[in-house]
Amino acid sequence: MGTSRLRLIAAVVLTGLVSGLIGGLIGELSHLIEACAFGAPFSSSTTGVGGVVMWRRLVAPIAGAVIAGLTWWWLRPRPSGSIISVRQAVDIDSPKRLRPIETIVDALAQLVVVGSGSSLGREAAPRQMAALAAQGLSDGFRVDGSTRRVLLASAAGAGLASVYNVPVAGALYALELTVRPDLRTRRGWGQVGIAVVISVLSTVTAWIFNHDRPIYRSPVAEVTPSGLGWIVLLVAVATPIGAGMGVLFGEMKRRVPVTSRLWWTVPLGSIGVTAIALMAPQVVGNGQVIVNLVLAHPVAPATLAILLVGKILATTVALRSGAAGGLLTPSLASGALIGTLIAAAAGIDSPSQVTMMAIVGAGCVLSMTQRAPLFAVAFALELTRAGALGVPVVVVAVLLGWAGFVLIGKRGPGFHGGIGRAPGNTSGSR
């Protein structure tokens, strides 16, 4: 049985509005958790926890990890596994229902562990919560199964869009990674329309909280004719590194400790991240601090290299410990570091040109870890709002890297994968 047009419109509009409220509230809650842990929110700074008193730097991450670890020890199935994920809820063949209590509690645990300093993204929590709300609205409006799937996927993308103020990226997240509409059909374009409307409504609704402020304030991105050669080199370097990061993170997600050990493995992982942060305080959190830093002022190449190794290592440790969280912004930060490092090696010191290199690097790495080049382009561009000139350069650069990856990397599915199928995207991934 199909869904009437009136019920569909109502479900779409309410899904967008509710997703925006959820994303806005989660953004405020994230800042509150950071303030409770470290005395003030650190994500918008360029120093991370570098200026925080030492006892907070040592105690807060472990305390947050103990809370999250005990929560997951109680919540997750035994002997191992994860709660019902959004990916399972939108599965075409055998969709499962999100369970309200476990979905909400798991999302809150993610916010606690990230807000207290773990090196993971916070975007998974709003995706889960928004998808849960869409599930309830789908039930209330009695939509059919195929429409329900599109609503849940679009809500998950809209949750991301509302937190980071990225409406195009939110819609593409749903379309490229989950829905994959057939654009040769009218139904496919209808799915595109649903995803776009929900993402835009969600983003605008969240302006109640974020007042349409961009996540990053960056110079206008520019590139010179000679700089194009360095961008080509950056694509050649960042693309395989991003692919390798995707494989590494995927392997860590597959090797999550058994549930009965999470009460101590998650805090142990947090101790590891804290130790790394003592040397590189910008690695804490989702990666926003690192991008703030490279866009704000010149950074010594040695510092950039330390931060790059530290961020990848800290994220790997956090995943291996069993902590749950997103990988979008850690990937973005790592790519921005690669781009800035190559700019430093090339002697590029113009803030506008460094910004272009950082955005291209971020987009290339993210496209590989998520296997979603269009989403990666939109996410990198919307987060920075670095000007119209950056759009064609970043689009061409990321798609060039993706095309090369597809042509060269078909030797094995473990490294290559397909579009929208990042390594480690098992049924339990969020």
pLDDT tens figures, 147-162 = 999 999 999 999 999 9
Ordered by start, the domain boundaries in the chain are: 5-207, 225-410
Q: What pLDDT is attached to residue 219?
A: 87
Q: What pLDDT is attached to residue 1?
A: 46
Nearest Cα neighbor of 315 from 102, 97, 118, 20 is 118
Residue pair 290/311 in contact (Cβ under 8 Å)? The answer is yes
Residue pair 37/220 in contact (Cβ under 8 Å)? The answer is no
- Domains 5-207 and 225-410 alike in fold: yes
Residue pair 46/287 in contact (Cβ under 8 Å)? The answer is no
Of all residues in the chain, what percent are helix, strand and coil, respectively (each to 5)?
70, 0, 30
Q: What pLDDT is attached to residue 428?
A: 42
Amino acid at 273: V
Q: What does the pLDDT look like over 391-400, one tens digit per residue?
A: 999 999 999 9
Q: What does the pLDDT look like over 303-325, one tens digit per residue?
A: 999 999 999 999 999 999 999 99
Q: Which fold has domain 5-207?
A: Clc chloride channel (1.10.3080)
Mean pLDDT calculated for residue range 203-218: 93
Q: Is the pLDDT reported for residue 70 higher than 70?
A: yes
- Pick the range with the lowest mean pLDDT from 193-207, 235-249, 404-418: 404-418
Which CATH superfamily does the domain covering 225-410 fall into?
Clc chloride channel (1.10.3080.10)
CB atoms within 10 A of CB 140: 12
Supply the pTM of this predicted model.
0.93
The whole-chain average pLDDT of the chain stands at 92
Q: How far apart are CA 225 and CA 358, in angstroms?
A: 17
Q: What does the pLDDT look like over 105-158, one tens digit per residue?
A: 999 999 999 999 999 999 999 999 999 999 999 999 999 999 999 999 999 999
Residue 381 CA: distances (Å) to CA of 9, 359, 385, 394? 30, 7, 6, 8
Beta bridge partners of 121: 326
